[in-house]
Structure 1
Amino acid sequence: MTWSPTTSHWGAYLARRTAAGALEVRPHPEDPAPSPLLGNVPDGVHHPTRVRAPAVRRGWLEDGPGPARRRGREEFIELDWDHALDLVAGELDRVRREHGNEAIFGGSYGWAGAGRFHHAQSQLHRFLNTIGGYTSSRNSYSLGASLVLLPHVVGDADAVLRRASTWPTIAEHTDLLVAFGGLPGKNVSVTPGGVTRHAMAAALRNFGESGLEVVSISPLRDDAPPRFWGRWWPIRPGTDVALMLGLAHTLLVEDRHDRAFLDRYCTGFEVFERYLLGEGDGTPKDARWAAGICGIPATDIRALARRMTEGRTLITVTWSLQRTEHGEQPVWAALALAAMLGQIGLPGGGFGHGYGSIGDVGDPGPLLRLPTLPQGRNPVATFIPVARIADMLLHPGRAYDYNGRRLTYPDIRLVYWAGGNPFHHHQDLARLRRAFGRPDTIVVHEPYWTATARHADIVLPVTTPLEREDIGGGRRDTHLIAMHRVLPPHEQARDDYAIFAALAGRLGVAEAFTEGRTPRQWLEHLYRTWREELRAQGHDVPAFEEFWAAGQYRLPPGPEHVTLLADFRADPERHPLPTPSGRIEIFSSVIAGFGYPDCPGHPAWLPPAERPDRRHPLYLIANQPGTRLHGQGDIGAVSRAAKIAGREPLRIHPDDARERGIADGDIVRVFNDRGACLAGARLSEEVMPGVVQLATGAWFDPVDDPDRPGGVLCVHGNPNVLTADRPTSRLAQGCTGQHALVQVERHTGPLPPLRHPSPPPLRPLRSQEDTP
């Protein structure tokens, strides 16, 4: 069989179907560092958890729409497609007529399969817009705090997140890289939309050859790059801001800060200066004060501050640090610290956000607009910050603060989800479970019986990228990929587009949704429109037929050397920042004017609501996995091989394990007042004492907790049964799922069976006349 090109969020690759019907994959021939996540792909295509036919929860089919505590605990009835689509269309029409389009929530937070046309979120939003709109969500779980804060302090989040200084520039010019959150290599094989050439591994090799020094500040030793050539600073989780303030205080009192830069390029430093000196609260934020909070000796803090002034220094912050309570503060404090050094806008110096968090930050690839399916206009203005879905469902009509506005949660009657899994992304899953019991109806498009599908009322089976044609490419990708179909659709699975086209026909808006085009015609139309734009810019772009036959098009190269805010540095009058002052806002009068006690007008240390105690003495870090993308691929070979007795591994320091009588390979119970999960113990000195690490993404597999009446135990090891559904602040209302406080004990009873690798109870229904 012929190898066909395709792409994924973990990279471009080649695939083919064998004569026996199995799937083989191999890396793209131009990829110097293919992702190991490719090893998860073959097992997933015909896994038992594939949704094989439209299915409806028995209680919804028998009793009709309405709140239901049985979601996630009840069998499903399989229906034929016409019957299922009639039910969905009828319910959409009922909710629109009785409650208005605001009562439909179509957030569908992303990470569905890669592809520019079959982008599930775009397909859903386009469809809902054609029928009158929907309540939407804003921002992301990954960057909820940063996407709101950065426009206030530098004017444009994309300037920091999408046009960062490139790896070649850093390797050539940087002397010292101070990495808050480290530079975790496990994350960089992933880029939204895909990447053909994974470049960070080569960049890190260049670092070693250039003599660049790295200080990795993280509770995890292996958040540093492979072949680490710097120093690991183990820091108490959630205390990076205190360390940044201690460094800034040292620069200030030793007169090592760049006053001229602060005067010309920044505003509000005098307010921050008074805060550092403790003039308002009587507490100078000096190195000794910082040491008492973060656990790093004051002498080391002072020495690092001095070292940062001796050469070109780049200060970086991973996305994980803003995914915590008061997550706005580490980003803002690091920016202020970089401003005090006066190197922002100079090659190799200044500030960065997201290096090591995702594959395209620092990538020198082209930054081009790629073909995109138009979503249309949403007539409904109502929205929520994406991480506030449980609050919205549980508390309709409640007022809340967001970015200077006073908003009200809508009364959602129908949730329509396509291309996402909130039971992966969200926190306090027991609370989310209760929230999912409130709407009248939940409709989900899914290839797999994920926890979200199991908590739905109507589940429609959709294809995976290998079962359809598409065009693929990421934000800084070097290639546009022709994604050929490799496999036939699984059982009765259909494309999202086909499902929405059928619903649009039932609701009288077929032409508005499809514009009379088939999927192949849409691909040709999107490509042709995009090609005309690039040709107008002087690029030689092949016709669609030539592109499709070749399997890829090498995009025009981007600049190898880029420096963040270089134009602003060169001439702040001609290139002002889009902030109220036109400068970097170390103090923001706008944010201060909001009056939020959990996000004042300048970077500040704000103690967390929870602190270690006798009952919950361990910090849990719920970080991104190295064996899958979020929950995608958890059923694959690479992810399964890392598990212990089928449970997600929990890393624990040998001293903490010894104190609890835990040996390597034991099954342990991890718990707090929100919930509990089982995991496999992996003893490791890569985590500092007092810290345990349990990656996100294990498929939620809940049972009633025998040790906590009314509580939930995830028998597979999903850490979001433990994390708090608490916003970063009133400013951003972002996700805080990175940390939690827990206790760990050896599990001694019988092991509960794992249910997530099999579908829920299903009963076939032969015809519509058999409906209960």
Structure 2
Amino acid sequence: MRDSVGYPDSGLDLTDGFKPHTSHWGVFSARQSEDGLQVRPYAGDPDPNGIIDNFPGALRHQVRIAQPAIRRGWLERGPGPDDRRGRDEYVSVSWEKALDLLSGELMRIRDTRGPGAVFGGSYGWSSAGRFHHAQSQVHRFLNIALGGYVRSVNSYSSGASSVLLPQILAGYEDITKHNVTWEQIAAESQVVLAFGGMALKNSMVAGGSISKHVERGAMTDARRRGCEFILVSPLRDDLPAEAGAEWMTCVPGTDTALMLGIVHTLVTEGLHDQAFLDRYTEGWPVFLRYLTGESDGQPKRAEWAAAICGVDGLTIRKLARRLAGRRALITVSHSLQRAEHGEQPVWMGMVLAAALGQIGLPGGGYAYSLGAIGYYGRRVNDVPGPTLIQGRNGVSDFIPVARIADMLLHPGTTYRYNGETRQYPDIRLVYWAGGNPFHHHQDINRLRKAFAQVDTLVVHELAWTATARHADIVLPATMTLEREDIGYSTNDPLMVAMHRIAEPFGLARDDYDIFADLADRLGAHEPFTEGRTSRQWLEHLYEPTRASLEARGLEAPNFLTFWERGSLIVPQRPDDGGKLRRFREDPIAHALPTPSGRIEIFSSKIAGHGDADCPGHPVWLEKTDVPKPGVPCFLVANQPVTRLHSQLDFGGHSTAAKHRGREVARINPRDASARGIADGDIMRLFNERGACLAAAHVTDAIAPGIVQLPTGAWYDPMDPEEDRSLCVHGNPNVLTRDIGTSSFAQGCTGQLTTVQVERFNGNLPPIRAFDPM
């Protein structure tokens, strides 16, 4: 039997002792034998992700954490600020001693400073399983055992857009998860203009489980039908070869100017959809005065845009004419808003789609970050999935996620966020379980100083990441293959019974069991565990799905049947275009959840904030971090191909892609030749914030004046005693700037900065990132 999107109802291939499991990279089955770990992708996946091949080498790697450890300085001198974090040695201790020390410190902070002095960081993808999701576990523990914690909001990936989109168009998930789908693109789109592209390396991963990678096939089908793909990016492979895209390069960070030039052409040539603008949008006349130059004296003509973005005026005009009157889809990637003034291209892309009159049509209009992760552009499941309730947080304080260093370095100071003036709390203890801020955060040298300010840093980890090496208390956690769980994503119909494949490494324990023992010491064991074992929790979390299936008259196997079968297909909602489609059909009955109920080209609410770096409609704002003497190249620090963020960087699939042990940076032949750099050479990238080494790949697939170095190589300072030591492994976040996108959203700006590049001629320092402590 098959459902409406062609998923076989036969489960996974579990022959020869293989057991079902899943990950953010794809569903798979695996077995552990004397020959080691073997993995094989889900047979129903048309385009499996090779990242699952990181598992065999990672499972028993020497960098795994075998037992609890305490930083010597903390153990001997007690809690307090300490600049020895990241430079100190560790003392192995028993679980009993580690948990006794930690529970005592948690009680000290709770009783003397209150839960508002605890930051529950734990920003990260963690596990595809819905129960052993470390972020949910630690937040539940802090809420129940301590009474709450200071939390973070938004994400490093979409910090600007997740604040902006709900105020100008619709909820973030309405735009990303229930809007334009890959099925619509394959069947309806006539032209796709992709600002920042839709790279498969991004859509090959998902926030939960993912059973079918359909993006490559959808673009192939669309192209065969005659759809034209146009890529605006400094990187040619930001769309796959199957899209057959026209590649247009513009100066990084200037997409907003290019969009303004396109819309100006549409308006002056009468190609825009005025009827759509009149009926569905708010504030077009205000924006039009800016576009034509009436309000600031500068018309945003194609020639004006050309001088900024590097695309000639004639090309801009021709592009505008190609879009007009066709089923056109405008997509804007995460990458564009991970930069200074990142709100502007997201907003301006929506205005361009509105001017074309396509919003709400199948395969047309506006899609934010369609190619970002595997559940964007897919249909939504129609039954509830497993969800661990985190409890009530008694602390109302929060920070935008990318402002953690500011918070730790400057407690009590004020900052602007979403129209409010807020104050950074005084944090004394940071609890991190799931995630690696020494990957996600910018300006790592500044982050090291920030973490030196707290009394105690606690980390649950499966391996000695840079974050673990800066912690005071390190608790070894199991890898996903070492525990049972339920794999599920709200946009993937295959629910997976994640069987345990291997025994835990060393003394590693599940996060849940660690927190249960801590809760017991804090007098909160019963409310935290509710009397359930891990397996009983899985049965409990599965029940809402089963009950919903039964209520709909569908097959609703009990938990044991589901577990033995290994998978279950759940129904999905129709591909109906969501809120934007309904709004187009009837803007009165189905008003948008914006202040005006319409598409807000001009937002009086945002204008009322009075923040000059994010006014009431999209504008071109000059950047401060641009090439100049000393830092003549743009650095694009994007997501990697061979791993998810920094996860399992020590796995075989990731390490095989490195050169001489270093992360690989791409550079244009013109820039390489000017510096005497040949393919395979080691380069030194540097600026005022830091420096790192990377291997050179000389290629014309990157525009001149730009170096691209993916994130995720584990931070590895040559001399940990130095404050700005050279990272020998190739982590670009020693170079990126730790500033917000604007005072409106305070999003991450880690995608783009400026650097100098030179050939490294010294003796190559060894890489120690994957050495055991």
Assess same fold via TM > 0.5: yes
What is the CA distance between 1:347 and its match in structure 2?
1.6
Aligned AA (2:622): P
Q: 1:350 corresponds to which residue?
A: 365
Does the aligned pair in 1 maintain the 2:189–2:222 contact within 8 Å? no
Q: Does the 8 Å CA contact 2:261/2:300 hold for their aligned counterparts? A: yes
Q: Within 1, Cα distance between the matches of 2:304 and 2:681?
A: 39
Structure-2 change in CA distance of 1:564 and 1:41 (3 Å): farther
Of the three residues 750, 757, 766, the one matched with 1:744 is: 757
CA contact (8 A) 1:236 1:295 kept: yes
RMSD: 1.3
Alignment of 1:449-464 (within 5 A): 449-464=464-479
Shift of 1:562: 3.7
Question: Given the superposition, is the C-alpha separation of residues 217 and 357 from structure 1 closer, same or farther in structure 2, using an over 3 Å criterion?
Answer: same
Work out whether residues 153 and 588 of structure 1, in 8 Å CA contact, stay in contact via their aligned partners in 2: yes
SS of the residue corresponding to residue 6 of structure 1 reads strand
Match of 2:740 in 1: 727
Deviates more, 1:453-462 or 1:353-362: 353-362
Matches within 5 A, 1:2-17: 2-17=17-32
Residue equivalent to 1:386: 401
CA drift at 1:322: 0.9
Whether 1:94 aligns to 2:115 is no
Mapped to 2, the partners of 1:282 and 1:412 lie a distance apart of 48
Q: What is the alpha-carbon distance in structure 2 between the residues aligned to residue 164 and residue 45 of structure 1?
A: 39
The alpha-carbon deviation at position 563 of structure 1 amounts to 6.4
Distance in 1 of aligned mates of 2:291 and 2:90? 60
The 8 Å contact of residues 700 and 714 in structure 1, kept in 2 or not, is answered as yes
| Residue pair 1:197, 1:478 contacting (<8 A) in 2 also | no
TM-superposition CA deviations, 1:332-361 (whole Å, max 9, x none):
000011101111111221100112211122
Decide whether the 8 Å contact of 1:188 with 1:357 is kept in 2: yes
1:196 aligns with 2:211: yes
Q: In the alignment, does 2:169 pair up with 1:119?
A: no
CA distance in structure 2 between the partners assigned to 1:530 and 1:367 by the alignment:
10
Q: Distance in 2 between matches of 1:595 and 1:224?
A: 38
Amino acid in the other structure paired with 1:113: S
Does structure 1 residue 374 correspond to structure 2 residue 386? no
Q: CA deviation at 1:529?
A: 2.9
Select the residue among 334, 349, 365 that pairs with 1:334.
349
Matched, 1:448 2:443: no
2:51 is aligned to: 37
Question: What does 1:15-414 align with in structure 2 at a 5 Å threshold?
Answer: 15-20=30-35, 22-130=36-144, 131-364=146-379, 366=381, 368-414=383-429
- In the TM superposition, residue 638 of structure 1 has moved relative to its aligned partner by 1.5
Q: Deviations over 1:438-495 (max 9, x none)?
A: 0000000000000000010000000011101100112211200000001001100000
- Write the distance in 2 (CA, Å) between the matches of 1:172 and 1:549: 38
Tell me if the contact between 1:89 and 1:507 (Cα under 8 Å) persists in the aligned partners: yes
Cα deviation, 1:739-772, whole Å, max 9, x if unaligned, reads 0100100101111111111122xxxxxxxxxxxx
* Equivalent position amino acid for 1:755 in 2: R
Residue in structure 2 matching 1:646, options 649, 656, 661: 661
Equivalent AA in structure 1 for residue 767 of structure 2:
L
Paired residues, number: 757
Q: Is the 8 A contact 1:344 1:564 kept in 2?
A: no
In the alignment, is the contact (CA less than 8 A) between 2:177 and 2:380 conserved in 1?
no
Q: Displacement of 1:560 after TM fit? A: 4.7
Quick one: structure 1 residues 376 and 421, their matched pair in 2 at CA, closer, same or farther if it must change by over 3 Å?
Answer: same
**How far is the alpha carbon of 1:704 from its aligned partner?**
4.2
1:688 corresponds in structure 2 to 703
Q: Report if aligned partners of 1:272, 1:586 keep a CA contact under 8 Å in 2.
A: yes
Q: Distance in 1 between matches of 2:564 and 2:308?
A: 60
Q: Of 746, 752, 757, which residue of structure 1 is paired with 2:770?
A: 757
Could you tell me which amino acid in structure 2 is paired with residue 482 of structure 1? Answer: A
Equivalents in 1 of 2:553, 2:474: separation in Å?
A: 47
- Kept in 2: contact 1:367–1:476 (CA 8 A): no
Q: Distance in 1 between matches of 2:24 and 2:638?
A: 18
Say if 2:596 is the partner of 1:577: no
Measure the CA separation in 2 of the matches of 1:161 and 1:730.
24
Q: Would you say 1:618 and 2:618 are equivalent positions?
A: no
Contact 2:216 2:240 in 1 (8 A): no
> How many angstroms apart in 2 are the aligned matches of 1:160 and 1:636?
34
Answer yes or no: is the 8 Å Cα contact 1:347–1:563 preserved in 2.
no
For the 8 Å contact 2:31–2:37, the answer to whether it is kept is: yes
Q: Distance in 1 between matches of 2:726 and 2:138?
A: 33
| Contact 2:178 2:379 (C-alpha < 8 Å) held by counterparts | no
AA at the equivalent of 2:763:
P
Of 366-375 and 607-616, the range deviating more from structure 2: 366-375
Letter in 1 for 2:140: R
Partner residue in 2 for 1:477: 492
**Which position in structure 1 is the counterpart of 2:10?**
none
Show structure 1 runs of 5+ residues with no match: 761-772
Counterpart Cα distance in 1 of 2:553 and 2:471:
49
In the alignment, does 2:444 pair up with 1:429?
yes
Question: Is 1:552 matched with 2:585?
Answer: no
1:466 aligns with 2:512: no
Which of 558, 565, 581 is the aligned partner of 2:580?
565
CA contact (8 A) 1:539 1:556 kept: no
TM-score (norm 1): 0.97
String of CA shifts for 1:365-409, please: whole Å, max 9, x gaps: 635431111101101001000000000000000111110111110
Q: Distance in 1 between matches of 2:188 and 2:401?
A: 38
The equivalent position to 2:651 in structure 1, one of 636, 654, 671, is 636
Unaligned runs of 5+ in 2: 1-15
Does the 8 A contact of 1:194 with 1:474 survive in 2?
yes
Task: Identify if the C-alpha distance between structure 1 residues 380 and 349 changes in structure 2 by more than 3 Å, giving closer, same or farther.
Answer: same
Q: Is the 8 A contact 2:383 2:548 kept in 1?
A: no
- Distance in 1, matches of 2:482 and 2:415, equals 43
**Cα pair 1:322 1:331 within 8 Å, conserved:** yes
1:533 aligned residue: 548
TM norm structure 2: 0.96
> What secondary structure, in the 3-state scheme, does the structure 2 residue paired with 1:593 have?
helix
What letter is aligned with 1:24?
Q
- SS of 2:317 mapped into structure 1: helix
Residue 19 of structure 1 deviates from its aligned partner by 3.0
Farther off after superposition, 104-113 or 733-742:
104-113
Q: Percent of pairs identical after alignment?
A: 57
Separation in 1, partners of 2:147, 2:186: 51
1:533 CA drift (Å): 3.1
The equivalent residue for 2:7 is none
Distance 1:311 1:80 in 2: 67
1:161 and 1:367, CA in 2 relative to 1: closer, same or farther beyond 3 A? farther
| Greater displacement, 419-428 / 603-612 | 603-612
Q: Shift in Å at residue 535 of structure 1?
A: 2.6
Distance 1:263 1:560, change over 3 A: closer
Q: 2:513 aligns with which of 498, 520, 528?
A: 498
Pick closer, same or farther for the CA change 1:367–1:319 going to 2, 3 Å: farther
Give the Cα–Cα distance (whole angstroms) in 2 for the partners of residues 365 and 509 of structure 1: 36
Alpha-carbon distance in structure 2 between the residues aligned to 1:451 and 1:362: 34
Q: Is the 8 A contact 1:366 1:559 kept in 2?
A: no
